[in-house]
Amino acid sequence: MINLVVVESVFTSIEIIQAARKFSEHVTLARGIDKSLFRSQSLNAQILSEIDIVEGGHRDPQGLVATLESLAASSPIDAVVSVSEICIEEVSAFCARQGIRFTDAAGVRLAKDKFASKVRLRELGLFASQHEAITSLEDLENAAERVGFPCVLKPRKGAASIGVAILRNATDCSAARSRTLTESMTLEQSTFISSDWVLEEYLQGPMLSIEAAHAAGKTKVFTVGQRSRACHDESIEIGTLLPAPIPDAVVHECQVFAEGVISGLGLNLGIFHIEAVRTQEGLKLIECNPRLMGGSLPHLYDLAYGESIHTRLLEIMCYGRLPQFAPLPQRFGASCFLAALTPGTVPHDLNLSWLSEYDSGAVKYHGFVPPGTPFEATRSNLGYLGRFLVFGPDPLKLDHLRREILDRFSESFGVPFARPEVLE
């Protein structure tokens, strides 16, 4: 029996906990401080009642490490899984000290650093794009001139698109500066978003996410998704079409690209989420997250492929081997997030009864904010009002359907929502 520890803090991780529960009789959850995130459904309560729970916290990385150390002292840990970005560095360092199989700690640290990771890949002659590290935004205009407009400003270590801005001219630089300096980050965010910056060449072309597994020295791409960004601001992600409707030759390109990025960064074990743009010069890296895809993507994967990506991850992390073959998709899935373009309040009498007009199996909606809640215009992945998934056999029809449903949500919420860019 494997003594398996799941380190998690966010509500989406209930799925990895559920998969772990099926995988091993002995599962311990080292849980983040915000317990309310796990309470949303009775199913969650049942799953949580079947496992051991110890309190740790992503808002207190040292507290989390102390929790893990006392767990290991009381009973040797065989395997650790963690799918959220927030504490992955601490978890990988802990596993390295304890000799527990996990993603290499130096690789995780490098991948999380959006400047150092690109320097490394550039040194290896891979995927060169212009980029520069800056410690202050005082001189942003000059730095942007050096990199060249348009360019992208982002925290050197970040997540959820917080603080990301596309700069097309000097006016955008001063707007980004005043927005960023006045934007007060929550305590939670300041523990995982760095206060220094990277400025990158803006990559033009369709955005793909490559979900690639690596174990025993081999890389295998499980799936490639086509990302849709907001038409009005490409730093806001609106959804994904999975699998991307791309020819085999492009899937092969993604495989070669993933092999280069993963080995270049020294990521030796896990399933990684690589974001890239397919430019006219080929694929170029936005970032390689040293953890499983997040948000609605695991759910979309399960729907499209008819299998659990979390179970795949558990097999890799517990046994250190790659599966014999990658799965085949059974249908396409598309996600769409509700990103408000203007501030407002979720109507007290929010009426979504029209959802029943759609085949109940083919549209899955999850609201994030209860009726009566005021909201701001969405500026990062943490500000969505909800999301829906649609799935079926035809990717173009799905894209059309998701736009139609998005319009109906706009009517119901009484606010315009960001529209996904047109698929190329």
Ligand X SMILES: Nc1ncnc2c1ncn2[C@@H]1O[C@H](COP(=O)(O)OP(=O)(O)OP(=O)(O)O)[C@@H](O)[C@H]1O
* Sites of contact with Mg ion (CB under 5 A): 275, 287
Q: How far apart are the first and last CA of the chain?
A: 48
CB of 183 to ligand X, least distance (A): 14
Tokens of 254: 């993604």
User: What type of residue is 120?
Assistant: R
The entry of Mg ion, ligand X, none near residue 381 (CB within 5 to 8 angstroms by kind) is ligand X
- Whose CA is closest to 349, among 261, 410, 413? 413
**By the 8 A CB rule, do 334 and 303 touch?**
no
Cα gap 194→196, rounded to integer Å: 6
Q: Which is nearer to Mg ion, 137 or 286 (CB)?
A: 286
CB of 160 to ligand X, least distance (A): 5
Q: Which is nearer to ligand X, 7 or 230 (CB)?
A: 230
Cα gap 209→271, rounded to integer Å: 12
Q: Which is nearer to ligand X, 153 or 415 (CB)?
A: 153
The entry of Mg ion, ligand X, none near residue 147 (CB within 5 to 8 angstroms by kind) is none
Cα dist from 26 to 52, 83, 314, whole Å? 8, 19, 14
Q: Which is nearer to ligand X, 58 or 229 (CB)?
A: 229
Q: 74: how many CB neighbours lie within 10 A of its CB?
A: 10
Nearest-Å Rg of the Cα atoms of the chain is 21
Q: 109: how many CB neighbours lie within 10 A of its CB?
A: 19
Give the helix, strand, coil percentages of the chain, each rounded to 5. Answer: 40, 25, 35
The entry of ligand X, Mg ion, none near residue 199 (CB within 5 to 8 angstroms by kind) is none
CB of 192 to Mg ion, least distance (A): 13
Q: Which is nearer to ligand X, 202 or 365 (CB)?
A: 202
Nearest residue to ligand X on Cβ basis: 203
- DSSP letter, residue 204: P
Give me the residues that bind ligand X (CB under 6 A), please.
152, 154, 158-162, 164, 200, 202-203, 207, 229, 234-235, 237, 275, 277, 286-287, 381
Q: Which is nearer to Mg ion, 60 or 421 (CB)?
A: 421
CB of 288 to ligand X, least distance (A): 10
Q: Which is nearer to ligand X, 215 or 262 (CB)?
A: 262
The entry of ligand X, Mg ion, none near residue 164 (CB within 5 to 8 angstroms by kind) is ligand X
CB of 44 to ligand X, least distance (A): 24
User: Given the DSSP bridges, would you call strands 207-215 and 218-229 parallel, antiparallel or unpaired?
Assistant: antiparallel
The entry of ligand X, Mg ion, none near residue 304 (CB within 5 to 8 angstroms by kind) is none
The entry of Mg ion, ligand X, none near residue 273 (CB within 5 to 8 angstroms by kind) is none
User: Given the DSSP bridges, would you call strands 151-155 and 197-201 parallel, antiparallel or unpaired?
Assistant: antiparallel
CB of 304 to Mg ion, least distance (A): 21
CB of 410 to ligand X, least distance (A): 22
Tokens of 377: 């215009």
The entry of ligand X, Mg ion, none near residue 358 (CB within 5 to 8 angstroms by kind) is none
248 φ, ψ to 5°?
Answer: -55, -35
